[in-house]
Structure 1
Amino acid sequence: MQFGYSDTCLDHDTGERHPETADRLRAIRRQLSRRHGVTYVDADPASVEAVTAVHDAAYVEEVREFSADGGGDWDTDTVASEGTWDAALKSAGLAQWAAERALAGDDGRDTPFSIGRPPGHHATIDDAMGFCFVNNVAVAAQSVLDDGSATRVAVFDWDVHHGNGTQDIFYDRDDVFYASIHEEGLYPGTGALEETGEGQGEGATLNVPLASGAGDADYLLAFEQAIRPAFARFDPDLVLVSAGFDAHRHDPISRMRVSTEGYARLTDRIRTLADDVGAGLGFVLEGGYGLDTLSESVATIHETFDGRDPLEDDGDASEDTTDLLATVRARHGLA
């Protein structure tokens, strides 16, 4: 794979006790150094114009000033420092790079994966939250729509937390399809299956809120029965994965049971879908707070694109998941 990376993203300083630290990127880099075929690409930071295409201009200026003044606690979870503004622009720029390279035809061993920080999928139109200031995947999606290189973008969010910000930004739009598999009831408390979009965007949001303890078989069934048919019907030019790894069974802040190999299986499924619909495919880092599980999972995705076939899962999804998916499919006309 190609990995978008910049040391600028290390300058977002959240303090010693915060789970979202620069050590996340350092751990990924250390793990990838043991693999063959890894390349790193820097990218220009996102412009203010690209950011304000999805965020309120007054909010964007407030973040810039907050960072310039030395930062602090934006809220109880979301911390900024003097380096946050530049890191956020760089992280969004790396996501733009991933989208652009995917649409340019980079695939297989050249598939782009942006490993910037701070993460982005909780950042709403006019507020920072959940460790996020700029919605990286939203900036990337909007940029390629604005420059005409794509007319439809699908976002698959497998972070354990619902990406309320991404959903919020595109909720009334029919040119971006947002789909999320997440833990029900976890922060930020959004992502009910009844949330399907509004206005022109009705039906272009799909949420699969799985019960705590869901594992590989549940995630794979959710993808096959809900995400795959919905994306195939939408027929996107580009698929972006909001790739959080905090649903891992050993992540310290969730109760889900996805294995490292489970992320390889999901990767293989989304790669096949993108190929089937002729869409570009790019990955954008979100959460994941166990350094070993985060770095091993990213490395496993790299190995999947480098030719390693994922081991098949022989488990069964729970009855709760099967029942939930029947409801999701009926609501979205996928039955």
Structure 2
Amino acid sequence: MQFGYSELCLAHDPGSRHPESPDRLRAIRERLKKKHGVEYVEADPCDLDRMAAVHERDYLESVREFCADGGGSWDPDTTAVEETWEAIRRSAGLACWAAEAALEGATGRDTPFSIGRPPGHHAVSDNAMGFCFVDNVAVAAQHALDHDAYDVDRVAIIDWDVHHGNGTQDIFYDRGDVFFVSLHEQGLYPGTGDIDETGTGEGEGTTMNVPMPAGTDDRDYLAALEGPITAALTDFDPDLLLISAGFDAHRHDPISRIRLSTEAYALLSDRVRSLAADTDAALAFVLEGGYGLDVLADSVALVHETFDGREPIEPEDEPGDKAESALEDVIDAHDLEITPDEF
């Protein structure tokens, strides 16, 4: 894979006890040293105008000034230092690079994966929260739609971070040109992402939330992706598929109760690759969460290996009853013509 990366993203340092630390990127880079075919690309930073396509300009100006004044705690979870503004610009710029590279034909072993930070999917249009200041994947999606050269009419986003991507949902909730899917742990921070949150106005039906009960595992997540998510996005027929790739649903991540194995991320990557191929969509990945350094690094490395030719190991068990019930509710909420025995 091609990995978008900038050393300047390390300068955003919220403190040694904060889970969203620069060590996340260092761990990924260290693990990828051992892998074949890894390429790093440093993209141009994102300018304020491009970020203002999805965020209120006054809010962005406030963040820039906050950082210029030395930063501090924006809220109890979200902390900045002086260098954070440049890291924000780089992280958003790397997400835009990933979308551009995919739309320009990068696929297979060249599939782009942006590993910028700070992450983005909790940032709403006018506020920071949950470690996030600017919604990188939303900026990238809007950039693709606005860029005449790419002729993009529809973008789909699958967010498999264990936390609901409330910021991305809010930004596109009344839009019909972006289909947002969030596959997350039910009841976890930020407490949003119920099944009945499906969009409004022109966006009615283009938000899909798949809240999974604590304890669900690889087969349950595969059933969600192979069932309602694939059915809905096949009908939507996107030109670009962006993955908000968080790795905190891993069973050894310190802040969640979903029980994914490392192998699950190979399986999920394989399925979204097939979905992109079936819909003729460009495909790119954007890093979100993941706070156990070893399992984060292992999981990202396995995504890379999947695109480098490794075949994922298929699970042998069936989806659990609780997960199957949740997926039936998602199917009903979106009037999909599928049944659980089809996936």
For residues 271 and 95 of structure 1, the distance between their equivalents in structure 2, rounded to whole angstroms, comes to: 18
For residues 268 and 317 of structure 2, the distance between their equivalents in structure 1, rounded to whole angstroms, comes to: 15
Kindly state the Cα deviation for residue 147 of structure 1 after the two structures are TM-superposed: 1.0
The answer as to 2:209 corresponding to 1:221 is no
Kindly state the Cα deviation for residue 13 of structure 1 after the two structures are TM-superposed: 1.0
SS at match of 1:226: helix
The answer as to 2:102 corresponding to 1:102 is yes
For residues 186 and 309 of structure 1, the distance between their equivalents in structure 2, rounded to whole angstroms, comes to: 32
1:131-146 equivalences under 5 Å are: 131-146=131-146
SS at match of 2:113: strand
- Count of residue pairs brought into register by the alignment: 335
Kindly state the Cα deviation for residue 85 of structure 1 after the two structures are TM-superposed: 0.4
Give the aligned partner of residue 233 of structure 1: 235
Kindly state the Cα deviation for residue 326 of structure 1 after the two structures are TM-superposed: 1.2
Alpha carbon RMSD of aligned pairs, Å?
0.5
For residues 223 and 102 of structure 1, the distance between their equivalents in structure 2, rounded to whole angstroms, comes to: 21
Give the aligned partner of residue 93 of structure 1: 93
Give the aligned partner of residue 264 of structure 2: 262
> Percent sequence identity over matched residues?
64
SS at match of 1:19: coil
Indicate which of 136, 140, 151 corresponds to 2:153: 151
Kindly state the Cα deviation for residue 318 of structure 1 after the two structures are TM-superposed: 1.2
**Equivalent AA in structure 2 for residue 199 of structure 1:** G
**Equivalent AA in structure 1 for residue 288 of structure 2:** E
1:311-330 equivalences under 5 Å are: 311-330=313-332
Indicate which of 260, 263, 275 corresponds to 2:277: 275
For residues 63 and 279 of structure 1, the distance between their equivalents in structure 2, rounded to whole angstroms, comes to: 34
Kindly state the Cα deviation for residue 104 of structure 1 after the two structures are TM-superposed: 0.7
Kindly state the Cα deviation for residue 330 of structure 1 after the two structures are TM-superposed: 1.6
For residues 327 and 218 of structure 1, the distance between their equivalents in structure 2, rounded to whole angstroms, comes to: 14
1:48-127 equivalences under 5 Å are: 48-127=48-127
For residues 70 and 319 of structure 2, the distance between their equivalents in structure 1, rounded to whole angstroms, comes to: 48
Give the aligned partner of residue 302 of structure 2: 300
TM-score (norm 1): 0.99
Kindly state the Cα deviation for residue 37 of structure 1 after the two structures are TM-superposed: 0.4
Kindly state the Cα deviation for residue 30 of structure 1 after the two structures are TM-superposed: 0.2
For residues 57 and 103 of structure 2, the distance between their equivalents in structure 1, rounded to whole angstroms, comes to: 28
Question: Which aligned segments of 4 or more residues in structure 1 are displaced greater than 2 angstroms?
Answer: none
Give the aligned partner of residue 179 of structure 1: 181
**Equivalent AA in structure 1 for residue 245 of structure 2:** A
Give the aligned partner of residue 21 of structure 1: 21
**Equivalent AA in structure 2 for residue 72 of structure 1:** G
TM-score (norm 2): 0.97
The answer as to 2:16 corresponding to 1:30 is no
For residues 8 and 68 of structure 1, the distance between their equivalents in structure 2, rounded to whole angstroms, comes to: 16
**Equivalent AA in structure 1 for residue 299 of structure 2:** S
Give the aligned partner of residue 204 of structure 2: 202
Kindly state the Cα deviation for residue 257 of structure 1 after the two structures are TM-superposed: 0.3
Give the aligned partner of residue 129 of structure 1: 129
For residues 326 and 229 of structure 1, the distance between their equivalents in structure 2, rounded to whole angstroms, comes to: 13
SS at match of 1:168: helix
SS at match of 1:96: helix
For residues 62 and 254 of structure 1, the distance between their equivalents in structure 2, rounded to whole angstroms, comes to: 32
For residues 260 and 275 of structure 2, the distance between their equivalents in structure 1, rounded to whole angstroms, comes to: 21
Give the aligned partner of residue 341 of structure 2: none
Kindly state the Cα deviation for residue 315 of structure 1 after the two structures are TM-superposed: 1.9
Kindly state the Cα deviation for residue 225 of structure 1 after the two structures are TM-superposed: 1.0
Kindly state the Cα deviation for residue 320 of structure 1 after the two structures are TM-superposed: 1.1
Kindly state the Cα deviation for residue 177 of structure 1 after the two structures are TM-superposed: 0.3
Give the aligned partner of residue 163 of structure 2: 161
Give the aligned partner of residue 9 of structure 1: 9
1:238-249 equivalences under 5 Å are: 238-249=240-251
Residue deviations 1:242-269, cap 9 Å, x none? 0000000000010110010001000000
- Structure 2: 5+ residue stretches without partners: 338-343
Between 139-148 and 25-34, report the one with greater CA deviation.
Answer: 139-148
Kindly state the Cα deviation for residue 54 of structure 1 after the two structures are TM-superposed: 0.2
